[in-house]
Structure 1
Amino acid sequence: MPTHLTTPGAGPVNSTYYSADTVPIARRRAFWREALARTFGAVDISVPDEVRSGTIDTTVLGRVQAVTVKSEPQFARRTRRLVACADNEDFVVVKLLSRGSARIEQDARESVVRPGQLFVYDMARPIRLDLPEPFQTKSLVLPRAALGLDESDVARITATPIGSESAIGRLLSPFLSQLVDTAETCPEAVGELVGRNVIDLLTVLADERRGADTVDSASGTRVLLTRIRAFIDASLTDPDLTPERVARAHHISVRYLHKLFEGEGITVGRWIQRRRLEECRRMLARRNAADITIAGVAHRWGFTSASHFSRVFRAAYGQSPVDWRNSVAAGRGARFHAAELEEKARDRVV
Structure 2
Amino acid sequence: MTPVASPPDEDRHVDSLLTTDSVPAPQRRTYWCEALSRTFTAVDIVVPDDVYSGTIRTSRLGHLQVVTVECDSLRAVRTPRLIARGNTENLIVRLQGKGVARLEQDGREACLRAGEIVIYDMARPHRMEFPERLQTKSVLLPRGLLGLGESDLRQITASPVRPDTALGGLLSIMLSRIADTAGTFRPRTGELLARNVVDLLTVLADEQLGRDSEGTPSGDAVLSLRIRTFIDRHLADPDLTPEAIARAHHISVRYLHKIFEGEDTTVSRWIQSRRLEACRRDLMLRRTANRTIVAVAHRWGFTSAAHFSRVFRTAYGMSPSEWRDAPRP
State TM-score, norm by structure 1.
0.59
* Number of the residue aligned with 1:9: 9
Shift of 1:169: 0.8
Q: Deviations over 1:159-180 (max 9, x none)?
A: 1111123232122222212211
Residue of structure 2 equivalent to 1:298: none
In structure 2, do the counterparts of structure 1 residues 202 and 153 end up closer, same or farther at CA, with 3 Å as the change threshold? farther
The root-mean-square deviation of aligned C-alpha atoms, in Å, is: 2.9
Distance change (3 Å), C-alpha of 1:25 and 1:12: same
Q: Distance in 1 between matches of 2:66 and 2:255?
A: 32
C-alpha distance after superposition, 1:209-234 (max 9, x if no partner): 3333xxxxx24x689xx9xxxxxxxx
For residue 3 of structure 1, report the CA deviation from its aligned partner: 5.0
TM-score, normalized by length of structure 2?
0.63
Q: Deviation string for 1:251-272 (max 9, x for gaps)?
A: xxxxxxxxxxxxxxxxxxxxxx
Partner residue in 2 for 1:193:
192
**8 Å contact kept, 2:188–2:249:** no
CA distance in 1, matches of 2:120, 2:172: 16
Q: Which residue of 1 aligns with 2:292?
A: none
User: What letter corresponds to residue 29 of structure 2 in structure 1?
Assistant: R
Kept in 1, the 8 Å contact 2:62–2:194? The answer is no
Q: 1:31 to 1:200 in 2, by over 3 A?
A: same
Following the alignment from structure 1 to structure 2, what is the Cα–Cα distance between the partners of residues 7 and 122? 33
Match of residue 153 from structure 2: 154
**In the alignment, what sits opposite 1:22?**
22
Runs (4+) off by over 6 Å: 280-285, 313-318
Unaligned runs of 5+ in 2: 219-245, 258-329
Which string of whole-angstrom CA distances, capped at 9 and with x for unpartnered residues, describes residues 152-208 of structure 1?
A: 222221111111232321222222122111012122222222222222222223222
**d(CA) in 2 for partners of 1:187, 1:65:** 15
How many residues are paired up?
231
| Structure 1 pair 161–315 and aligned structure 2 pair: CA distance change class (3 A) | closer
Residue type of the alignment partner of 1:84? A
Measure how far apart 1:282 and its partner are. Answer: 7.2
Query: Identity of aligned pairs, percent?
Result: 47
Corresponding position: 1:89 with 2:88: yes
CA–CA separation in structure 2 for the residues paired with 1:207 and 1:197: 15
Q: Is the contact between residue 14 and residue 61 of structure 1 (CA under 8 Å) also seen in structure 2?
A: no
Tell me the SS of whatever aligns to 1:153.
Answer: helix
Counterpart for residue 32 of structure 1: 32
Alignment match, 2:167: 168
Structure 2 CA distance for aligned equivalents of residues 316 and 92 of structure 1: 28
Give 3-state SS (helix, strand or coil) of 1:130's partner: strand
Answering whether residue 173 of structure 2 is matched by residue 184 of structure 1, we say: no
Secondary structure in structure 2 of the residue aligned to 1:156: helix
Is the contact between residue 97 and residue 114 of structure 2 (CA under 8 Å) also seen in structure 1? yes
Looking at both structures, which has the greater relative contact order when contacts are Cα pairs under 8 Å and sequence separation is at least 6?
2
Select between 55-64 and 21-30 the one with higher mean Cα deviation: 21-30
